[in-house]
Amino acid sequence: MTARKMRKKSDYQHLRSFKEEVEVLRNLHPEADLIKDDEMLNSGLREWRREAELALNINEGHLGGLMKEALSVACLSKRCFLWAMSIMEAYKEWKLKRQTNNKVNRMLFVQLPGMKNEEVLFNLLRQFRGGELTKNEFNEKMKEQKSLAVPSNKRRPTKGDPGPLKKKIADLESRNSMLQKQVIDLKKKLMETTKTDAVDVYAFESDDASDDIEVAAVLPPLQENREESSSEGDSDDSLSVLIPTINYMRTPALVTSNAKDDHTVIGDDDDDDDDDDDEGAESNEEALLQTFVDLEEDTTTEFSELKAGDLVLAKDEDEWFKATVIVCEAQKYKVHYFGYGAHFDKWVSKEEVKLYCFAVGEKLKARWEDGFFYKGEVQSVNGREVTVLFDDGDVGKATCLKFC
């Protein structure tokens, strides 16, 4: 039979007194000055515990085991903490009931860890300081109170009773909905402050629109006005429609070459010009359709040449996944799939990859002027350039992006 391995006793040496350790823990706690008089401090804050371990020269994770009594005293409510400090001072000066020694150590509050009822604890501390209870009686009272309080996670809820856990869930959901509403209101206010005046794409720079007109079409009068026009004689009631110049036209055929006086009459009664008008309309229609085809090809080929670092959708087993291009070669790309390890990187053909287009409202990471990436939300997309509303409220345009 092998001998049972004995647990090694901690060799930690307390370099401060119990009262000093309590004061160090209390002063380091970030909520010490923020709580109400009857509110207990949160003893589970990891940053606070780690900072206290460094200040007291304790190995990480050992604070709760070596100083649980000091930890419990330091996390008392304001009014209970004042009574506890007064008890330690009075005990050191032999001022309490039936003292056998005046050592101020963890044994004064040995039953304090786990005591959650602040109201009961406040009364017990006051009785201990007033001499109504001895040290042993004080700790025995706390032990009895802890045995009466059944932990909520061990309590079996009765059938049909939602229990305290469901009530807590309902409270959290209510608070969550309230916070979401506040976030929406704040986003609306932010959008109003950053909103710019919309540009009227149909507005002319000058009042004289005749300089920007190259093609005009004169339509025959409406049917209901024909009788009025015939009765008035030779008056011209035709409806004139002015067509603005299309700056992006690459086919000159869209501009009619046989226009008279910078106007083309559609539906003229002159039989000699009917054939010319029909041919011109057909040629214009064909040229317009060809221009639309060219524009569509431009939009599809604008981003056909990918480069390393581009965010794409890559195909794998008939499904499209978010990915980043890491190597480019002729007719193929090596991609890294977002959310997967490097061993999933693979080569894909040109047909199996396409540039990723962010949607308005989508979350992402964008590089700011300082060279670092920050989280934000897409406001608008213009080709490779994305306007980003960052989480801190700043708005900027970025082309170097990451999935979030």
Q: Give the model confidence (pLDDT) of 134-184 as tens digits.
A: 989 999 999 998 888 655 555 454 555 667 788 788 888 888 888 888 888
Within this chain, do residues 231 and 292 fall inside the same structural domain, yes or no? yes
- What is this structure's pTM? 0.38
Within this chain, do residues 342 and 278 fall inside the same structural domain, yes or no? no
Cβ(303)–Cβ(382) below 8 Å = no
Within this chain, do residues 331 and 372 fall inside the same structural domain, yes or no? yes
Model confidence at 285, in pLDDT bands (50, 70, 90)?
low
78 sits in which H/E element:
helix 78-92
On whether residue 169 sits in a domain, the answer given is no
Question: Distance between CA 299 and CA 125 in Å, rounded?
Answer: 78
Domain boundary among 275, 301, 327: 301
Which sign does the torsion angle of CA 29, 32, 36, 38 carry? positive
Residue 323 has pLDDT above 80, yes or no: yes
* Number of neighbours of residue 326 by Cβ within 10 angstroms: 14
Listed residue (220, 213, 306) closest to 261, CA to CA: 213
Cβ(366)–Cβ(373) below 8 Å = yes
Within this chain, do residues 25 and 142 fall inside the same structural domain, yes or no? yes
Within this chain, do residues 23 and 122 fall inside the same structural domain, yes or no? yes
On whether residue 68 sits in a domain, the answer given is yes
pLDDT for position 162 = 66
pLDDT for position 246 = 45
Beta strands at 346-349 and 332-337: parallel, antiparallel or unpaired: antiparallel
Percent of the chain at pLDDT exceeding 70: 66
Q: Which residue is associated with the tokens 């004689």?
A: 233
Listed residue (312, 319, 317) closest to 336, CA to CA: 312
Question: Distance between CA 269 and CA 274 in Å, rounded?
Answer: 8
Query: Could you report the per-residue pLDDT of 10-29, keeping only the tens digit for each?
Result: 556 778 899 999 999 999 99
Strand, coil or helix: 123: helix
Within this chain, do residues 228 and 315 fall inside the same structural domain, yes or no? no
Classify residue 273 as left (phi > 0), alpha (psi -120 to 50) or beta.
alpha
On whether residue 357 sits in a domain, the answer given is yes
On whether residue 170 sits in a domain, the answer given is no
Within this chain, do residues 213 and 297 fall inside the same structural domain, yes or no? yes
Average of pLDDT values for 325-342? 89
Domain boundary among 301, 332, 359: 301
Which residues form the domain of 120? Answer: 18-148
Within this chain, do residues 61 and 133 fall inside the same structural domain, yes or no? yes
The whole-angstrom distance between residue 378's C-alpha and the CA centroid of its chain comes to 11
pLDDT for position 378 = 92
Within this chain, do residues 332 and 280 fall inside the same structural domain, yes or no? no
Q: For residue 116, what is the DSSP state? A: -
Cβ(213)–Cβ(245) below 8 Å = yes
Q: Letter for the amino acid at 276?
A: D
Question: Distance between CA 26 and CA 257 in Å, rounded?
Answer: 90
Give the mean pLDDT of the chain. 75
* Number of neighbours of residue 135 by Cβ within 10 angstroms: 20
What is the number of structural domains in the chain?
3
